[in-house]
């Protein structure tokens, strides 16, 4: 059977600087929002609730963060009043 | 590297984008019908749009040596008005006869409303009646998880619809497993902000394998990148994947799915 695995490369060499930049962007976003007194926005709260998932062990961090930001309900809504999505689920929306 | 762009909204892109895609190795573009950024006021607006997708756009692509295929539907963002949706769906059979039409798409859900679901079911029924391939749009961001579940349930209610003939697009880490487990094809969309980055899409390939899956740019009028697909291929190569694997993901897989319609030829 053919092996489809990629040849081994150093993934840290490849992507560390990108990950570092994104982490700093997230930190500076939170600093900026806090300076503006906007930390009570439900989207910011959702980000803060997701952050501990980054430090949990296991290979499914991205999946778990997406799940934490998702609408967990199962029934269709009565009517769509908007076309857009916000990126985080607001329980009382 | 030759590649197929299986999901791009070229009506929103410039001729320079066609040229750039051709220079990057693009041989085929598949363009699902979508929301143009505004609500059309009547079914006549859709008739004109479908005429553009089946007439002008393939001519524009051909100037750069690219074959252009398309898909017909009223997208879920305009599906809240069921009366309009039904009038548009009634137009579609006429267009299914056109040479570059591969099937019904991109249908699906946006905000997961009852009306959107009703219109989705009418589209699936139309595909069933006319033995068409289906290309599915899943909702954005926080609505994707619930919407993907509702879409899979709706598809399963049609016993004649086989999973091999349906691609569920815009999967992410939290939805790809349910799509693959149900037996459908999965599409991954590469966007700078929402949906997937190339790094994450390649992670998914490495976790779930390269069968029945494709990547696309879904470039349109929003924040998107018409060369996202070949750029992802370059990144796959950097991560140690072979040329054979790149050919499978970026050429053979979309060819395999779309070739189920005999009108698809390269």
Q: For residues B9-25, give the mean pLDDT.
A: 98
How big is chain A, counted in residues? 93
Q: For residues B197-206, give the mean pLDDT.
A: 98
CA distance B64 to chain A (A): 33
CA distance B169 to chain A (A): 17
Residue B266: inside a domain = no
- Partner-chain contact A79 B80, CB within 8 Å: yes
Contacts of B139 in chain A (CB under 8 A): 85
pLDDT digits (tens, 9 = 90+) for B19-61: 999 999 999 999 999 999 999 999 999 999 999 999 999 999 9
Give the pLDDT of residue A2: 58
pLDDT digits (tens, 9 = 90+) for B103-139: 999 999 999 999 999 999 999 999 999 999 999 999 9
Q: Which residue of A has its CA nearest to B110?
A: A83
Domain range annotation of chain A: 13-67
Residue-range definition of the domain harbouring residue B249: 3-258
Residue B140: inside a domain = yes
Residue B263: inside a domain = no
- ipTM of the complex model: 0.96
Contacts of B206 in chain A (CB under 8 A): 6
Contacts of B111 in chain A (CB under 8 A): 77, 80, 82-83, 85
CA distance B205 to chain A (A): 10
Number of independent structural domains in chain B: 1
**Facing B142 at nearest CB: one of A9, A70, A80:** A70
Residue B265: inside a domain = no
Residue B154: inside a domain = yes
pLDDT digits (tens, 9 = 90+) for B139-175: 999 999 999 999 999 999 999 999 999 999 999 999 9
Contacts of B232 in chain A (CB under 8 A): none
Chains A, B: CB pairs < 8 Å: 96
- Partner-chain contact B145 A60, CB within 8 Å: no
Give the pLDDT of residue A4: 76
- Partner-chain contact A85 B146, CB within 8 Å: no
Residue B264: inside a domain = no
Question: In CATH, what number is assigned to the domain containing residue B193?
Answer: 3.20.20.140
| Contact (CB, 8 A) for B190 and B198 | yes
Cα four-point dihedral sign A12, B211, B194, A70: negative
Residue A1 has pLDDT above 70, yes or no: no
Strand partners, B103: B71, B133
């Amino acid at each position: 059977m053919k092996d489809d695995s990629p040849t081994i490369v150093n993934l840290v060499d490849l992507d560390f600087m990108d990950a570092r930049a994104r982490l700093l962007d997230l930190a500076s976003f939170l600093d900026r929002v806090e300076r503006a007194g906007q930390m009570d926005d439900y989207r910011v709260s959702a980000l803060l609730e997701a952050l501990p998932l980054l430090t949990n062990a296991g290979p499914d961090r991205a999946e778990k963060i997406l799940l934490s930001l998702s609408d967990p309900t199962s029934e269709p809504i009565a009517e769509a009043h908007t076309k857009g999505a916000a990126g985080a689920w607001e329980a009382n929306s | 590297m030759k590649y197929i762009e299986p999901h791009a909204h070229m009506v929103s892109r410039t001729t320079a984008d066609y040229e750039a895609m051709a220079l990057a190795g693009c041989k085929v573009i598949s363009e699902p019908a979508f929301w143009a950024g505004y609500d059309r006021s009547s079914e006549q607006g859709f008739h004109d749009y479908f005429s553009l997708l089946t007439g002008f756009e393939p001519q524009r692509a051909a100037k750069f040596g690219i074959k252009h295929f398309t898909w017909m539907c009223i997208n879920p963002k305009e599906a809240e008005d069921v009366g309009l949706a039904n009038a548009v769906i009634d137009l579609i059979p006429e267009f299914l006869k056109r040479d570059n039409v591969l099937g019904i798409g991109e249908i699906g859900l946006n905000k997961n409303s009852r009306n959107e679901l009703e219109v989705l079911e009418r589209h699936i029924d139309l595909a069933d009646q006319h033995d068409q391939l289906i290309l599915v749009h899943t909702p954005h961001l926080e609505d994707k998880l619930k919407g993907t579940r509702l879409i899979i349930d709706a598809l399963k209610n049609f016993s004649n619809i086989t999973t091999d003939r349906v691609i569920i697009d815009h999967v992410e880490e939290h939805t790809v497993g349910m799509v693959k487990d149900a037996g459908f094809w999965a599409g991954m969309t590469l966007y700078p902000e929402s949906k997937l980055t190339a790094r994450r899409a390649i992670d998914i390939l490495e976790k779930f394998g390269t069968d029945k899956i494709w990547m696309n740019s879904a470039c349109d009028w929003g924040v998107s990148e018409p060369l996202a697909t070949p750029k992802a291929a370059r990144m796959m190569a950097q991560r140690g994947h072979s040329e054979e694997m790149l050919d499978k993901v970026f050429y053979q897989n979309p060819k395999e799915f779309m070739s189920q319609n005999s009108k698809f030829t390269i």
